[in-house]
């Protein structure tokens, strides 16, 4: 048995258990009985920090749809020195 997630248009997400690989594309909402579509999510992403979940999703996606770049990524905008550095004593003063 595995847990599958569905989303009712009126009541929101809910989970049901089905034998592995036999989850129907629609399931009846336990609250209102309405037909609800299956939702595909990365397992347990809700337990991870948001950034880690995003990194996992990106890694999963790159298996089927790798990102293609046409040039080497730049270094981004030039970083300004931290303002506290201006208060440090200068050499020779």
Q: Using CB under 5 A as the criterion, which residues of the chain lie in contact with Zn ion when the complex forms?
A: 8, 10-11, 29, 31-32, 34
Per-residue tokens: 68: 């293609």
**Tokens 């050499």 sit at which residue?**
91
Pick the closer one to Zn ion by CB: 11 or 23: 11
CB of 7 to Zn ion, least distance (A): 9
In what helix (H) or strand (E) does residue 58 lie, and over which residues does it extend? helix 50-64
No. of H helices and E strands in the chain? 1, 4
Shortest Å distance, C-beta 62 to Zn ion: 35
User: What's the closest the beta carbon of residue 51 comes to Zn ion, in angstroms?
Assistant: 32
């Amino acid at each position: 048995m595995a847990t599958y997630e569905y989303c009712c248009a009126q009541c929101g997400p809910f989970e049901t258990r089905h034998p592995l690989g036999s989850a129907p594309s629609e399931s009846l909402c336990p609250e209102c009985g309405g037909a609800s579509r299956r939702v595909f999510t990365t397992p347990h992403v809700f337990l991870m920090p948001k950034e880690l979940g995003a990194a996992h999703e990106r890694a999963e996606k790159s298996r089927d749809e790798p990102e293609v770049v046409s040039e080497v990524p730049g270094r981004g905008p030039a970083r300004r020195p931290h303002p506290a550095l201006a208060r440090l004593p200068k050499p020779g003063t």
